[in-house]
Amino acid sequence: MSAADTNTAAPAAEAARLRAEISRYADSYYNSDTSLVSDFEYDALMRRLREIEQTHPELASPDSPTAIVGGEASPAFSQVVHPTPLQSLNDVFSFDEVLAFAAKTEEYAAPESGYVVEPKIDGLSVALYYENGVLTRGATRGDGVTGEDVTANIFTIKSVPRRLNNAPEKIGVRGEVYMPRFVFEEINAEREINGEPPMANPRNAAAGSLRQLDPAVCAARRLDMIIFNIQYIEGIPDGRVFASHAQTLDYLSELGFHTVPYGVVRDGDAITAELERIGESRGEFDFDIDGAVVKINSLAARVELGGTAKAPRWAVAYKYPPEEKETEVLDIIVQVGRTGVLTPKALVRPVRLSGTTVSNATLHNADFISERDIRIGDAVIIRKAGEIIPEVVEVIAEKRPKSAVPYEFPRECPVCGSEVSRDEGGVHIRCRGAECPAQLLRNIVHFASRRAMDIEGLGVAVAKQLLEAGLIASAGDLYFLDTQRLETLERFGKKSAENLLAAIEKSKSRGLAALLYALGIPQIGESAARALAGRFLSMDAVEAADASELIAMPDFGETTAKYLQAWLKNPQSQHLLGRLRAAGVDMTAPAPQTEGKFTGMTFVLTGALSGYTRDEASRLIEERGGKTSSSVSKKTGIVIAGEDAGSKLQKAEALGVRIINETEFEDMLKN
C-alpha cells in the first residue's frame, strides 16, 4: 500500500461510517418523523463529514448526505415534482463563520440592500401552489425535487389562505408547517389522560400530523404555517417588480400569508447582533426555532451567485449552540402525573437560558437523581433539551456545600399519601392510590371507556367538567349524580343530562370482568380481568383469594398477583369499591361455559389482526369454552397468526402446531 493510500484509508473508513450513521438518522427524521439524536449531534456529524470531503475531494460522492436534500416522498401519497427545487441550506456554527460568509458576499450585498436575517422555524418544509389566486396544491419538500401531495391536509390549516387578495396568475411559495407550542402541550396532556405515549417534540408532531392519511386527524392537531419565500411568480396584476427579498416578504403578507418575521441589516457586525437578538427572543415565538437564516437581500445578486444542487451560495443557516448555564438547586420537588408517575423537578436559582428565564429543570426520574447524585444546594449545569424542557446536565462536585445530603425519593405519594412502587422492570415510580386526585381525570376517562364500563358520552371534556365543578371525586361518585346537578354544567341541558345518567345506569350491569379492567389495577388488562372473573365469579372471592390461588392461574404470575393484592388492600381502593357496591354496580360474573365449540382447546394469538384487538379475540374464544395462552407449547391447539407474526409463529411451525389466519378464525366462529 502506498503512502497516499495509507493517508486516505482512515478518512475513507470514517467517511463511510459517518454516511451510514447520518443516512440512518436522516431516514428516521425525514421519513418517520422521529429524531434519534439531537439536532446538535446530527449537525456535528454532518460537519465532520463535510470536513473530510473537503480535505479529500476524491472521497466526495454525489449520493453523500452532504449533497442530498431531505428525505424521500412516501409511496402512501401521490408524488409532486416541484417546478422550482426546494433546496436546503449550508449550516454555520459560529459568528466567525457568519462573518466569513458576509466577507465573501459583501460585494453582492450592496449597502442599500444588505442582508435579511430570519428565525429558522423548526417544522416541515412545504410548497404551496396557486393559480388565479386559488390554492391548487400543497406538497412536502421530499428530496427537494419530488415531494408528497398533502393538499387535503393543507386545507385544514386555518392560517393558509385558500384564495389570495389581488392575486398573480400563478405563484408558488415555500414555508414551514409547525405545531404551536401551546397546542403541543395540550395534545400531550390529553394523550397522557388517554394512556397514549407523548409526542417527542413539536417538529416531529407537526411532520407526523401533516403526513396523516386522514385529514380529520390533521385538523385536530391545529397546525400553523409561516411562508418565507416566493419560489416562482407570473402575472402580477399591478406589474410591480421586486428588487429585494424583503419586498417579496411584504408582498406575501399583502396577499394574505402569515409570513416570517425578519430584519434587514447592512454588514457582518449587524448580522451577528441580529442573530443574538433572535436567540434572546426565541422564547417569545409560538414556534420552535433550530437556528436563524442569513440571506442576501438583493434578488439580482442571488441570481449571480447561484448555488449547488443542494444549497444556494447566497444564504446560510446559523445554528445556535446548545446554551448551558450554571445555577444552584434550591429544592427538589416531586409532581404526580395523570398516570400516577412521580416526576422529580429541581427548583433552581433563576437564569436566562435560550431566550427565557428558567427557574426549574427536569430530573426525569429517581434513577437520574441517584446516578448523578444530585442534591439540594448543588451547583449544576443546565441546558434546554430540544429547546423545550430545561434539564440538569451535570453536578459541579467541587462546589458542593458540606451541608448537602443525598436526596431520598418519597415512599408515599406527595398528593394523596398512598404507597408508591416501581413499575416492574421499569424506571417509573408510581402512586397506587385508586382515588389519587392527581390521577383522577385519567382514571375516570379509563373507567368510562368503551372496553371498560362503556359509559357513552363520558369523555375527557365531560370528565373535566364534572371534576372542576366538584360533582365527583372518584369513579364511584358517577353513580350518585342526578339531573339537577348535571344541568348546572355549561352546555348541559336536561336531555344531555338524562342521556349521560342513562349511560351510567346501563354500565352497572357490565359485570365483573369489565369492572376489574375499568378499575385500572396495575398489570390487570382485559385478558387478566376476564381470567379473574371466570375463575372467582365475584369481587368478594377475588378479594379473598390468596397468592397461591392467583399464581396458579394460567399466565398469572407472582408480579401480577402482588400488584392485585396490594391494590385491593389500599384504603382508597376499599373506599372506591364500597361506593360502587352502594350504587348497585354488578360485581359478579356468570359461571364459565363448560361446554362449547372450543372446549378443551388452547389458542395462542400472534401478530396483528385487522378485525379484532387481541383482547376481543380472546373474549370470543373464552365465550365458546376455549382458553388463550401467551406462549406456544406442545399443549397449544391452534395459533392464530396475524400480520407481522414473530417468534411464536416460528415456534409453532417447529412444534407442528396448527396455524390459522384471521379468515379461518372467523370461519371457526361462524360454523
Q: What are the tens digits of pLDDT across the range 355-370?
A: 778 899 989 999 999 9
* Same domain (yes/no): 243, 114: yes
- Provide the CATH number for the domain around residue 126: 3.30.470.30
- Nearest-5° Cα angle at 88, 82 to 90: 160
Residues 6+ away with beta carbon under 8 Å from 360? 345, 346, 347, 348, 390
Q: How confident is the model at residue 215 (pLDDT cuts 50, 70, 90)?
A: confident
CB atoms within 10 A of CB 408: 10
* Same domain (yes/no): 117, 233: yes
Inform me whether the pLDDT recorded for 6 exceeds 90.
no
* Same domain (yes/no): 478, 548: yes
* Same domain (yes/no): 575, 475: yes
Q: 264 forms bridges with which residues in the sheet?
A: 116
- pLDDT of 8: 58
* Same domain (yes/no): 99, 168: yes
Establish if 592 belongs to a structural domain.
no
* Same domain (yes/no): 192, 227: yes
* Same domain (yes/no): 398, 307: no
* Same domain (yes/no): 263, 302: yes
Which residues are catalytically annotated? 120
Interval 32-53 mean pLDDT: 72
Establish if 597 belongs to a structural domain.
no
Alpha-carbon distance 277 to 263, whole Å?
Answer: 10
Query: CB-hemisphere CA count at 13 Å for 565?
Result: 15
* Same domain (yes/no): 413, 456: no
Give backbone dihedrals phi and psi of 221, rounded to 5 degrees, phi first: -85, -5
Establish if 587 belongs to a structural domain.
no
Inform me whether the pLDDT recorded for 336 exceeds 80.
yes
Inform me whether the pLDDT recorded for 322 exceeds 70.
yes
Domain final residue pick, 21, 41, 67? 67
Q: What is the pLDDT of residues 305-316, one digit of tens each?
A: 999 888 999 999
Nearest to 170 by CA among 200, 127, 212, 203: 127
- pLDDT of 283: 79
Alpha-carbon distance 57 to 44, whole Å?
Answer: 20
CB atoms within 10 A of CB 374: 22
Interval 328-353 mean pLDDT: 92
Establish if 593 belongs to a structural domain.
no
Establish if 356 belongs to a structural domain.
yes
| Percent of all residues in the chain with a pLDDT value above 70, rounded to a whole number | 93
Interval 21-34 mean pLDDT: 68
User: Looking at the whole model, is its pTM more than 0.95?
Assistant: no
C-alpha cell recorded at residue 627: 382458553
Q: 638 forms bridges with which residues in the sheet?
A: 603, 658
Establish if 596 belongs to a structural domain.
no
Element (H, E) at 384: strand 379-385
- Provide the CATH number for the domain around residue 478: 1.10.150.20
Domain final residue pick, 399, 431, 463? 431
Residues 6+ away with beta carbon under 8 Å from 463? 441, 444, 445, 448
- pLDDT of 1: 40
- pLDDT of 4: 44
| Percent of all residues in the chain with a pLDDT value above 90, rounded to a whole number | 55
Inform me whether the pLDDT recorded for 5 exceeds 50.
no
Q: What is the pLDDT of residues 103-125, one digit of tens each?
A: 999 888 777 789 999 999 999 99
Inform me whether the pLDDT recorded for 259 exceeds 60.
yes
- Provide the CATH number for the domain around residue 11: 1.10.287.610
Count of the separate structural domains present in the chain? 5
* Same domain (yes/no): 306, 403: no
Q: How confident is the model at residue 67 (pLDDT cuts 50, 70, 90)?
A: low
- pLDDT of 53: 78
- pLDDT of 71: 53
Inform me whether the pLDDT recorded for 399 exceeds 70.
yes
Establish if 376 belongs to a structural domain.
yes
* Same domain (yes/no): 480, 351: no
Establish if 525 belongs to a structural domain.
yes
* Same domain (yes/no): 103, 61: no
- Provide the CATH number for the domain around residue 647: 3.40.50.10190
Inform me whether the pLDDT recorded for 631 exceeds 70.
yes
The boundaries of the domain holding residue 215 are 79-318
- pLDDT of 594: 59
Domain final residue pick, 431, 460, 481? 431
- Checking 76-79 for CB contacts under 8 A at 24+ apart, the result is 76/148, 76/211, 76/213, 77/148, 77/149, 77/150, 77/211, 78/148, 78/149, 79/142, 79/146, 79/147, 79/148, 79/149
- pLDDT of 465: 93
What type of residue is 515?
L
